[in-house]
Amino acid sequence: MKDNHTRQAVILLFLLTAATIVGAWGFQILGGYIPCHLCHIQRMIYYAVVPVLAVLMWLILADPGKAHIVRRGLLLVALLMLASAFLGGYHAGVEWKWWPGPAACTTGAGLSGGLPDLSKARVVNCDEAQWRFLWLSFAGWNVVISLIAVGLALWGARRPPQGSSSVSQ
């Protein structure tokens, strides 16, 4: 079958990105880690990428002749995951105090004026890493995972060599 690497890339990317967001939920639900404002923004990219990859996976498995469309979709995924890596790097820099974070990441941010009192809710500052493994926080690991996803997406988006004879008959 032509574009075997494209199919493999889509499947691997879907598994990687879905496992990443499920892992984030697991840390939140089972571990009690509360995501900050920047964490939520980073998750938005995964909420967009996972369904896109599900559609691309359906396309490539249902009709391998649509590989050219899937390759274009993988370029979109690569761009989104590059943005995810950038956001994760920005967030990690905020945690390491290399630069300030947005105003919404401070304990003073919140809702007021006729809305429910949220002052008793636990506020998580973006500049305080809740967890680190091998010196990387959740944001730092997001950079690593996102860059792996970019590489996989670009690998899957490349055209197969013209002389390739891997077409099944």
pLDDT > 80? residue 117: no
pLDDT in tens, 34-48: 777 778 888 899 999
pLDDT > 70 fraction of the chain, expressed in percent and rounded: 77
| Domain at 81, CATH number | 1.20.1550
Instruction: Count the neighbouring beta carbons within 10 Å of the beta carbon of residue 107.
Output: 9
Residue 63 or residue 163, greater confidence: 63
Is 90 contained in some domain? Answer: yes
Task: Mark out the alpha helices in 1-137 (DSSP H runs).
Answer: 4-29, 37-62, 67-95
pLDDT > 90? residue 60: no
Instruction: Count the neighbouring beta carbons within 10 Å of the beta carbon of residue 2.
Output: 16
Residue 35 or residue 77, greater confidence: 77
As for how many domains the chain has, the answer is: 1
Is 108 contained in some domain? Answer: no
Residue 103 or residue 165, greater confidence: 103
